A and B are shown apart, each in its own frame.
Chain A
């Protein structure tokens, strides 16, 4: 599925997650965040960078991982990305929805 975000045509899946990370840029992230009612701050971007780094290293993302990340505690993670913080933050980061579920 194609979607027009921040003046670019982006490839997304039916849940709205980017399917090609190379199409991601900060503008895209910002627009996706706005769609979910999130106004990005430096703190938000710090978390996004952490998630992208983990994804690059093929490390699985989980709430436990966030707890141990040293980047942010879980409470703050929830307040930055209210609702489903992992689902929303990964969507904004342009990486797949975590399947911390086996």
Chain B
């Protein structure tokens, strides 16, 4: 009997358990998944929780519920990976041997990377919305907030779901409009990037939306510290932005387990082949989702496409064949723009988001890089798709693993 071990039972880990349980013979392979957290969060929901659009119940379920029965489920902290010995050490001192390892430990916020961020004002007037605790604390704050300067801020790239802070700014605009207090709120969007987003075409479209919604942009802002006594953030060029309420996306780091095990880069992300998902250091260790250093968005859609590729490559690896399946960096993201509308972007490593229709060329029903109500309904329907199809590793109809160029208005070079 051989052992395949999956570290992490988030979006990627859970999908891999479901895929592999179908594909591997249970006479030859034992699959084990180690979950460090117990609760599975619907992370896209953290965007809606602060605005009372989703309830806490809608965004969390027990992780174990999504793991197939034939897979060994262990709920414990992981102490160390010893790749030279093909061994995992758990916090309790038990160890697990593996023939194949899949690292799916994700990324987490590290507010302590910036001076003054997680000081005495953390969760008083400085919040994140990338954690359940942060999103919930922010919801309670927004319910009673009387207005002032709202600053939505990104500390440094890369971050999970790079569009989420923009969506937060857009949703804040409609939230305060609906409360009849938009005139009492200044919204400023502060980013270390040169523009609203990482890709030029989408940046242009999003810049117009920010203008339209009267949201001020501050770009190229590399934060040095938070002056929590005087309520301002200060960057290395000594530019200051004042806030009454700071909603920040702190530095995102991979699991400290990578640092302890010598498997990560300087942000604890695992150096991974961007096409095959095999780690660069060890041929029987693979990585997926937010845990990798891939130059792709850290997003659920990316994890979903990667899971299909990785499943194929693991089967090939077991058969001693070359790892042929190649991930192209495909990402597909809804961008909530407020007032019941959303944009949709679809892109990969080399092709930036453009306008067009999706998933059916010329038909849609979704439109790319344009605001529509149908896109918003797509985003809302996605919560059901996530819990009921995506985690179970079911293929999403009409959506290909590698990006399709059909139905897109690509520029001819």
- Give residues in A with beta carbon < 8 Å to B: 62-65, 68, 74-75, 77-78, 82-85, 87, 99-102
Contacts and interface: CB of A to CB of B under 8 A. Distances in A.
Contacts of A99: 198
14 contacts: A62-B157, A63-B156, A64-B156, A64-B266, A65-B266, A68-B266, A77-B236, A87-B220, A101-B157, A101-B193, A101-B198, A102-B157, A102-B162, A102-B297
A88 to B, nearest CB: 11
Contacts of A62: 156-157
B167 interface: no
B11 to A, nearest CB: 18
Contact of A74 (B192, B194, B220, B224): B224
A78 B235 CA distance: 10
Interface in B136-157: 156-157
Contacts of B298: 102
A83 B224 CA distance: 15
| Chief secondary structure at chain A's binding surface | helix
Nearest to B297: A102
B411 to A, nearest CB: 14
B222 A63 contact: yes
Nearest to A64: B156
Contacts of A83: 237
B220 A102 contact: no
A58 to B, nearest CB: 12
Contacts, number: 44
A99 B193 CA distance: 9
Contacts of B209: none
Interface in B271-319: 295-298
A62 B266 CA distance: 11
A65 B224 CA distance: 14
Nearest to B293: A60
Contacts of A63: 156, 192, 222, 236
Given A68-B266, A102-B198, A82 B237 contact: yes
Interface in B106-162: 156-158, 162
A74 B236 contact: yes
A102 B266 contact: no
A85 B237 CA distance: 9
A36 B198 CA distance: 25
A65 to B, nearest CB: 8
Given A68-B266, A101-B193, A101-B198, 17 more contacts: A62-B156, A62-B157, A63-B192, A63-B236, A64-B156, A64-B267, A74-B222, A75-B236, A78-B236, A78-B237, A84-B220, A99-B198, A100-B156, A100-B157, A102-B296, A102-B297, A102-B298
A71 to B, nearest CB: 15
Interface in B156-177: 156-158, 162
B390 to A, nearest CB: 22
A64 to B, nearest CB: 6
Contacts of A75: 224, 236
